[in-house]
Chains A and B, each alone.
Chain A
């Protein structure tokens, strides 16, 4: 078993390294290097992209740490034991907070690191500058976001002990909407709208707006300004903005510990005791969701699906993760809204279609690693019911697959159709996207379920923790590699077709044929290999 774990961890590390490198190549080779060559506006545009990206990362970090804090600090079964030990409250809190920082930020930092490195390379940073970026800039940025998320989690649980959960949930939605409004406001996407004008004054105003690149009171502004200062070797300005980042991190942490010292233990105590009090309070009626399991006649798969549906709806640690994905999708749609409709260049239209396809794939991959991969592990200690019942491993995996595929198709196609309509994508590319989403849904579901069955962690009740394991990292890495390959296979015929439309010549039948064959082969492999590995592991498991 140790040997298998070593092989798995090594494979994960290699895959992860490969993915990071590919992402770096994508941003540096395809985007930043090209954009940097644009006169006057090139670096401004890059800094604007990085700034907007890090603003989104900041909000994602806040939401991710809110969800992770909720599960680690209030739902983790070990907490009760730890409170009964000689550990002080703040010592215990610190342990939990470190877990929160690591679990909530690793995936976001994996996305951010190659982008930051690409920027550093295009700006020709040296090793010292890059080290300063990592330690003095990224660390306080992360700590500020995670502190805010943890404070929100403690206050939310504290409030839920005093007000009805329904009221809290509605309030949470309003707060979340407010968050999104702030995010969009700070990102100032209207400034990205390129004016078609011959007036140089309007153009100068547009370029000057770019220099601001974000609201000056946001951490991403300080981050990009400190990076820009490094480029200009203006260490005085670097210290100024790095100090802003550090002081905001210190302030957030101080506030967090003040809140924790006062509220963490009493809040946990009341939340814990509330479970016992519930027994004495009569319930008004059988919940509607219960009818999934007590309603119409069931097959084994029907019973499994109903159980999973009820468990998902009733587990806040699961469905609150959708907030983050919802935020991501909303920001994407808002930014799409500001892209001009009258883009005439065929190449740009093709690029937009491809990037839209990649984004849809990214959302599905995020879903797969956060919800589908942990689904087998989350059977937890109750898995004895399935293991000793007359239900085969194949039936269990089949149910997980059908559920995942159904959800992916729904979300993926909805996303593709809405974004395609907003971008006014050509019907042919839209059709390719729709077909691509079907293939991706099958493949990503298979990847997540196969690896989830091969590398289960039944001891954890925390989906974030499960998806942060080496198996989870392997799943997300393989998912991203798969999406990248699908994109390449889509780009080849699309580019050939675009060239054919623009320049004429021979219809690219061969390119389309080869791409189709390779796409089918890729999907056959991605569907079968993980499921075979997972099935074998599932059937061979011993107790």
Chain B
């Protein structure tokens, strides 16, 4: 299978601190990939490198074979991004916002309207799609941002903390939506603190700690790497990131 995402020896420094330190990993096309790590591990920096929002000091990042630094526009045209904080243009309503995003992706008017209608049904947005986003709750904004990310039939979706701020029904809806998208062949890269969600949805995952990958593969691969047979993802995470040591110290 082709690599949809390839990090090759990526180092990113902010001042004297390496946010990413010789980071290398691959995500195959069509995979639902989980990306885990404690706070400050480098998850957000990894996503920024993928989106071309920051440039590595060393190494390369390639999306679908294209170097992000060389052709960021081509990379972004095949990606959808769902940020952790769903900031929107507060004076637009959801329909206008999605039309705007569709325009940026050069979609036809017909295609935009069809996709909006479909997404409206999926996320049950009919009663509030024509209200301004300044009136929306956090969960409603998240749905709009998700919809905008799915609008242009992306081949890769990058999701940052997808279930934060969502009530249980909305979180379930989102998880089902991501699974459907994955089943249609879209690659999903999901960064999350929610180990349960990652364990439920992701076929493969990586744990990043202090800018480097400490484990990468299926849950069984992670158990083998952590020498923790039958361990839960939480236990694996704690051991591989050293958090378990701190807990023992507290006791």
Chain A contacts to B: CB under 8 angstroms: 275-276, 278-279, 283, 286, 290, 293-294, 296-300, 302-304, 306-307, 310-311, 314-315, 380-382, 384-392, 542-543
Q: Judging by beta carbons under 8 Å apart, are B100 and A303 in contact?
A: yes
**A159 CA to B79 CA, complexed, in Å:** 47
Identify the 7 closest CB pairs spanning chains A and B, nearest first: A303-B103, A381-B87, A298-B103, A314-B91, A390-B77, A293-B96, A390-B76
Q: Judging by beta carbons under 8 Å apart, are B54 and A543 in contact?
A: yes
CB distance from B82 to the nearest CB of A (A): 10
**A88 CA to B119 CA, complexed, in Å:** 47
B87-104 Cβ-contact flags toward A at 8 Å (1 or 0): 111111101100111111
Query: What 14 additional pairs, Cβ within 8 angstroms, besides A293-B96, A293-B99, A390-B105?
Result: A286-B130, A293-B92, A293-B103, A297-B108, A298-B109, A300-B103, A300-B106, A310-B91, A381-B85, A388-B51, A388-B53, A389-B105, A390-B106, A392-B73
Is B239 interfacial (CB-CB < 8 Å)?
Answer: no
**A276 CA to B128 CA, complexed, in Å:** 13
Which chain B residues border A384 with CB–CB below 8 Å?
A: 81, 83, 87
* Of listed A296, A386, A542, residue having the most chain B CB within 10 A: A542
Which chain A residues border B128 with CB–CB below 8 Å?
A: 279
Q: Judging by beta carbons under 8 Å apart, are B103 and A390 in contact?
A: no
> Known: A294-B95, A303-B104, A543-B48. Is A388-B76 also a contact (CB below 8 A)?
yes
* Of listed A278, A297, A307, A310, residue having the most chain B CB within 10 A: A307
Which chain B residues border A315 with CB–CB below 8 Å?
A: 91
CB distance from A75 to the nearest CB of B (A): 10
> Known: A279-B135, A283-B130, A294-B96. Is A391-B104 also a contact (CB below 8 A)?
yes
- Could you jot down 25 A-B contacts, CB within 8 Å? A275-B135, A279-B128, A293-B96, A294-B99, A297-B109, A298-B103, A300-B104, A300-B106, A303-B99, A304-B103, A304-B104, A310-B96, A311-B92, A380-B87, A381-B85, A382-B87, A385-B89, A388-B76, A388-B79, A388-B81, A389-B105, A390-B73, A390-B74, A390-B106, A391-B104
B47-60 Cβ-contact flags toward A at 8 Å (1 or 0): 01001011100000
Residue of A nearest to B91 (CB): A314
Q: Judging by beta carbons under 8 Å apart, are B101 and A542 in contact?
A: no
For window 118-169 of B, CB contacts with A under 8 Å fall at: 128, 130-132, 134-135, 148
Which chain A residues border B92 with CB–CB below 8 Å?
A: 293, 307, 310-311
* Of listed B54, B79, B104, residue having the most chain A CB within 10 A: B104
Which chain B residues border A390 with CB–CB below 8 Å?
A: 73-74, 76-77, 104-106
Q: What does DSSP make chain A's interface, helix, strand, loop or mixed?
A: helix
**A275 CA to B133 CA, complexed, in Å:** 11
Q: Judging by beta carbons under 8 Å apart, are B91 and A311 in contact?
A: yes
Which chain A residues border B131 with CB–CB below 8 Å?
A: 278-279, 283
Residue of B nearest to A296 (CB): B109
Q: Judging by beta carbons under 8 Å apart, are B134 and A389 in contact?
A: no
CB distance from A72 to the nearest CB of B (A): 17
**A382 CA to B100 CA, complexed, in Å:** 13
> Known: A310-B92, A381-B87. Is A302-B103 also a contact (CB below 8 A)?
yes
Residue of B nearest to A540 (CB): B55
Inter-chain CB contacts under 8 Å: number: 100
CB distance from B89 to the nearest CB of A (A): 5
B37-77 Cβ-contact flags toward A at 8 Å (1 or 0): 00000000000100101110000000000000000011011
Q: Judging by beta carbons under 8 Å apart, are B53 and A543 in contact?
A: yes
**A314 CA to B93 CA, complexed, in Å:** 11
Residue of B nearest to A378 (CB): B89
Residue of B nearest to A281 (CB): B131
**A311 CA to B134 CA, complexed, in Å:** 12
**A380 CA to B92 CA, complexed, in Å:** 14
**A302 CA to B109 CA, complexed, in Å:** 13
**A279 CA to B91 CA, complexed, in Å:** 15
Residue of B nearest to A543 (CB): B53
Q: Judging by beta carbons under 8 Å apart, are A306 and B104 in contact?
A: no
Which chain A residues border B93 with CB–CB below 8 Å?
A: 290
**A381 CA to B84 CA, complexed, in Å:** 12
- Pick from A302, A380, A385, A543: contact of B101, CB below 8 A: A385
**A307 CA to B73 CA, complexed, in Å:** 21
Which chain B residues border A389 with CB–CB below 8 Å?
A: 76, 101, 104-105
Residue of B nearest to A294 (CB): B99
- Pick from A279, A290, A382, A386: contact of B88, CB below 8 A: A382
- Pick from A286, A304, A310, A542: contact of B53, CB below 8 A: A542
Q: Judging by beta carbons under 8 Å apart, are A306 and B100 in contact?
A: yes
Which chain A residues border B96 with CB–CB below 8 Å?
A: 290, 293-294, 307, 310
Residue of B nearest to A391 (CB): B104
Which chain B residues border A302 with CB–CB below 8 Å?
A: 103
Residue of A nearest to B136 (CB): A279
**A387 CA to B48 CA, complexed, in Å:** 10
Which chain B residues border A297 with CB–CB below 8 Å?
A: 108-109
Which chain A residues border B135 with CB–CB below 8 Å?
A: 275-276, 278-279
CB distance from B186 to the nearest CB of A (A): 17
Residue of B nearest to A392 (CB): B73
**A542 CA to B53 CA, complexed, in Å:** 6
CB distance from B36 to the nearest CB of A (A): 22
**A542 CA to B105 CA, complexed, in Å:** 23
Residue of B nearest to A387 (CB): B53
Residue of A nearest to B108 (CB): A297
CB distance from A83 to the nearest CB of B (A): 19
**A275 CA to B89 CA, complexed, in Å:** 16
Which chain A residues border B130 with CB–CB below 8 Å?
A: 283, 286, 290
Q: Judging by beta carbons under 8 Å apart, are A542 and B109 in contact?
A: no
CB distance from B118 to the nearest CB of A (A): 16
**A286 CA to B130 CA, complexed, in Å:** 7
Which chain A residues border B76 with CB–CB below 8 Å?
A: 388-390
**A294 CA to B103 CA, complexed, in Å:** 10
Which chain A residues border B90 with CB–CB below 8 Å?
A: 382
Which chain B residues border A307 with CB–CB below 8 Å?
A: 89, 92, 96, 100
> Known: A275-B134, A293-B100, A307-B92. Is A542-B54 also a contact (CB below 8 A)?
yes
For window 174-198 of B, CB contacts with A under 8 Å fall at: none
**A276 CA to B137 CA, complexed, in Å:** 9
**A478 CA to B107 CA, complexed, in Å:** 41
Which chain A residues border B101 with CB–CB below 8 Å?
A: 385, 389
Which chain A residues border B48 with CB–CB below 8 Å?
A: 543
Residue of B nearest to A461 (CB): B90
**A386 CA to B102 CA, complexed, in Å:** 12
Which chain A residues border B87 with CB–CB below 8 Å?
A: 380-382, 384
CB distance from B24 to the nearest CB of A (A): 22
Which chain A residues border B91 with CB–CB below 8 Å?
A: 310-311, 314-315
**A390 CA to B77 CA, complexed, in Å:** 5
**A43 CA to B89 CA, complexed, in Å:** 54
**A311 CA to B131 CA, complexed, in Å:** 14
Q: Judging by beta carbons under 8 Å apart, are A382 and B89 in contact?
A: yes
Which chain B residues border A386 with CB–CB below 8 Å?
A: 104
* Of listed A275, A294, A542, residue having the most chain B CB within 10 A: A294
**A387 CA to B51 CA, complexed, in Å:** 9
* Of listed A303, A388, A542, residue having the most chain B CB within 10 A: A388
